[in-house]
Amino acid sequence: MDYRDAGVDIPAAEQAKQRIGRLAKGTFNASVLTEIGSFGGMFRPDLSRYREPVLVSSTDGVGTKIHVANAMGVHDTVGYDLVAHCVNDILVQGAVPLFFLDYIALGRMDPAKVEAIVAGLARACSEFGCPLIGGETAEMPGTYAPDDYDLAGFIVGVVERERALTGARVRARDVLLGLPSLGLHTNGYTLARKVLFERCGHRVDTHLAELGTTVGQALLAPHKSYLAALEPLVERDKLRALSHLTGGGFQGNIPRVLPDGLRARIRRGSWPILPIFRLIQERGRVSDDEMFRTFNMGLGMVAVVAPEDLHEVEHSLECRGEPSFVIGAVEAGAGVVFE
Which structural domain, as residue segments, surrounds residue 189?
Answer: 175-338
Rounded to whole angstroms, how far apart are CA atoms 317 and 315? 5
pLDDT at 280: 98
Q: What is the pTM of this model?
A: 0.95
> In the chain, helix, strand, coil percent, each to 5?
35, 25, 40
- 116: nearest Cα among 137, 100, 131: 137
**273 and 330 assigned to the same domain:** yes
**141 and 227 assigned to the same domain:** no
Average pLDDT, stretch 69-86? 97
**Do 153 and 86 meet the contact criterion of CB atoms below 8 Å apart?**
yes
pLDDT at 14: 86
Rounded to whole angstroms, how far apart are CA atoms 29 and 280? 43
pLDDT at 7 over 80: no
**180 and 158 assigned to the same domain:** no
- Report CA 113 to chain centroid distance, whole Å: 21
**44 and 157 assigned to the same domain:** yes
Please provide residue 137's backbone torsions phi and psi, each rounded to the nearest 5 degrees: -120, 115
Whole-number percent of the chain with pLDDT over 70: 100
**75 and 205 assigned to the same domain:** no
306: helix, strand or coil: coil
**Do 185 and 81 meet the contact criterion of CB atoms below 8 Å apart?**
yes
pLDDT at 72 over 90: yes
pLDDT band at 150 (very low <50, low <70, confident <90, very high): very high
Residues 177-197 have pLDDT tens digits of: 999 999 999 999 999 999 999
Rounded to whole angstroms, how far apart are CA atoms 177 and 324? 6
DSSP summary character for residue 181: -
Query: Is 169 part of a structural domain of the chain?
Result: no
pLDDT at 4 over 80: no
Query: Is 170 part of a structural domain of the chain?
Result: no
Residue 152 carries which side chain, given as an amino acid letter? A
Which of 5-9, 29-33, 129-133, 177-181 comes out lowest in average pLDDT? 5-9
